[in-house]
Structure 1
């Protein structure tokens, strides 16, 4: 498997090579190494074990590449095993270190559950607790702190990968686009609440209760004002573009969606910075 992982430089080639010791089950591929090569030269060998039937492994798509942490370099997720009757995937996330040009395993998120892309710079982690109950968590990457931080306000259900959302351009259908925009607005509100509560708690310690409460109310008013501004701006913008009457609704929703996506990225960055604390 060959993949261009960054804007510059030659692509990398990925192979899985079995270890010297055969596994106890001949139907399972077993332990070995993910070998990474550049221009035919091996640059690293990452230990990995496929603890699942050989036929369950897609030879053409056994690695899932995406820029999970938002640094412009492609990271990858690889499955280790499928558990029990539910078929819950247990995966590992390998992140590219742009300074060394090599991958490293993100240990806190790996070998826990199924990892998938969420908001820009964030991942969903679906797993099961000790009692077997389904659990969903969202982690976002804090660049200043160089670590993944759990986002408790986004853990109630799976967060969509907004980079893949189908709500852009005149081809977007009104109903589907509206559903996407409503879901995005809901995520915005969840992030706002967590950001507001976190900042209020911080101000309670740094200043006083009155100031903290006033700040929280100011954030709520600011968000409501932004929603009104967004809707008015999109309505005016679509009319000025002379969009055909039959496409006005979808074009307006698409505009609202794009503005909400930008606002959500801003909230998410502020929340990650808040969780990371002051930079050292």
Structure 2
């Protein structure tokens, strides 16, 4: 029933560790003990059968399949090659209610928001009777309201005895939702501890290996620097499948000589289309 944060800078080794725990990669040395026994995962399917489910930042639903089909993909209830569709829908509806997804289970995955797709992934993990769920940057593409809903779900796992490995770069989330933490640096274990006994400053110090005393910013180009790129009222429709939906609508910005311009937004906000 513990929510355990796995922390470290980019390149610290978090992704490699997650791949090993999820069965996507094999370790060169060492052992994994899971549920009191030595465990060896030769594939993601091995890890799933053992009770470990992984929800990646890049979600893995099949766009042309329904919510119910995605939840039970490869494990559809029925006999031989015949799927019991009534049971499939009923069981999917129960899992959807558990994670707070108020949709028709026949809805196609392509018609869901990113947050809704993530809830389907969580429902799929629950359908596997998982004992450990690994969540890789689960809040990266969520709005504040969606993050709160996710935290409510994760906190509810404690009462069910379900453990979570929570990977995030947002350290304030660690203090809010996690019980314990482990920090990696340069591929090595640095420390672990109780979240209640630490602070964001202490976590940062362990992550980077030094005190952060000041932040420096490069000076912004002055208003007299020449404009090398100007975009005004840029718009684009999503295409035939999107009907009249707009991928971009009245986008405006300019880039001056010597300037580095950041374009930020949630997944699906139009960053890729703009680039």
Superposition TM-score tier, normalisation by shorter sequence: under 0.3
More strand by share: 1
Task: Considering fraction of residues, name the structure with more helix.
Answer: 1
